[in-house]
Amino acid sequence: MKIYLNGNLVPKEQATVSVFDHGLLYGDGVFEGIRFYSGRVFRLDDHIDRLYRSARAIALSIPLDRDAMSQAVLDTIRANGMSDGYVRLVVTRGEGSLGLSPKSCPTPTVFVIAAGITLYPEEMYRNGLKLVTCSTRRIAHGALSPMVKSLNYLNNIMAKIEAEQAGAGEGLMLNEQGYVAECTGDNVFIVRDGRLVTPPIAAGALAGVTRAVVFELARQLGIDIREEDITRYDIYTADECFLTGTAAEIIPVVELDSRPIDDGKPGPLTLRLTELFRELTRTTGTPIG
């Protein structure tokens, strides 16, 4: 395996960062997860744009321009001879001295990993995912904007641990007001009376790339889609529910807190959107070359 690290493609064994890197010491950095299918990178420009917005939000200057960063992603995939897989693109504050101040970090660290990923077993895509509500709340906007895809994922990890200990496939996270924010790594959608509803960004949801694709597909189908605050009640009583994410793609949810959603099976609109999404990933994207 070859890893892109600060301008060079190096063997996995040589892809190391300093123990003084602030990304390791303090979770100070940003990242993107990107999928590629059949020799094409899906929504590469959208991911690169979000990476730079996240960096700007935390006052992190990326040492590459957008075109060079996109090329680094493509070069890494080609170097590993892959046509389908997952890219993890990371920019840290870089090596510095002990202490929180980023002033001691003159040069950010950039690395790109291209590998395979299996977030959920295939049977969950066929039969649906079971969720449990986590006691760990989503970090509020006033603490750290959920729009920033930062390296500090401890909030999500603690919720994921709760979900796993409860035997659920995913954990539902609420905000401090008790409204649904998102799951530990995915956006949440419900279907009610033929329309789609998803929590707004203000509720604590990440502006997911796959989330945005669902908005596009809904418009193509003539489906009304809205961003509204929702509660667990709305999920309990929904006609359908599904999650979206770059790694997860679109996956149906059939149960929350041991309560079946409708008949406890993946719904027709969820299945239709999944079909359209998979067709889109097969036919569009930036060629790897």
pLDDT tens profile 198-251: 999 999 999 999 999 999 999 999 999 999 999 999 999 999 999 999 999 999
Compute the average pLDDT of residues 149-178.
96
Q: What is the mean pLDDT of the chain?
A: 96
Phi and psi at residue 141, in whole multiples of 5°? Answer: -55, -35
User: Residue 119 above 90 pLDDT?
Assistant: no
Read off the pTM.
Answer: 0.95
Paired tokens of 46: 């959208």
User: What residue ranges do the domains of the chain occupy?
Assistant: 2-115, 122-283
15-28 confidence digits (pLDDT tens): 999 999 999 999 99
Q: Which fold has domain 122-283?
A: D-amino Acid Aminotransferase; Chain A, domain 2 (3.20.10)
pLDDT for 265 equals 97
Distance CA 285, CA 267 (A): 28
Q: For position 190, what pLDDT does the model report? A: 98
Provide the token pair at 1: 């395996």
Assess whether pLDDT exceeds 90 at residue 157.
yes
For the cut 90, the answer to whether the pLDDT of residue 118 exceeds it is no
Confidence category of residue 142, pLDDT binned at 50, 70, 90:
confident
The Cα–Cα gap between 217 and 234 comes to 23
The answer to which of 33-37, 88-92, 201-205, 258-262 has the lowest mean pLDDT is: 201-205
Checking if the pLDDT of 187 tops 90, the result is yes
CA Rg, the chain, in Å?
Answer: 19
* Burial per residue of 177-214, b for 16 or more beta-carbon CB atoms within 10 angstroms, e otherwise: eebbbbbbbbbbbbbeeeebbbbebebbbbebbbbebb
- Sign (positive or negative) of CA dihedral 254, 255, 260, 262: negative
pLDDT tens-digit map of 30-69: 999 999 999 999 999 999 999 999 999 999 999 999 999 9
Indicate the class that CATH gives domain 2-115: alpha beta
- Is residue 2 among the annotated active site residues? no
Q: Yes or no: say if 91 and 32 are a contact pair by the CB < 8 Å rule.
A: no
Catalytic residue among 2, 130, 149, 160: 149
Model confidence at 289, pLDDT cuts 50, 70, 90, reads: confident
Going 111 to 114 to 115 to 117, the CA torsion angle's sign is: positive
User: Is residue 146 predicted with pLDDT exceeding 90?
Assistant: no
- pLDDT tops 90 at residue 264: yes
| Measured torsion, CA atoms of residues 256, 262, 268, 271, in degrees rounded to the nearest 10 | 10
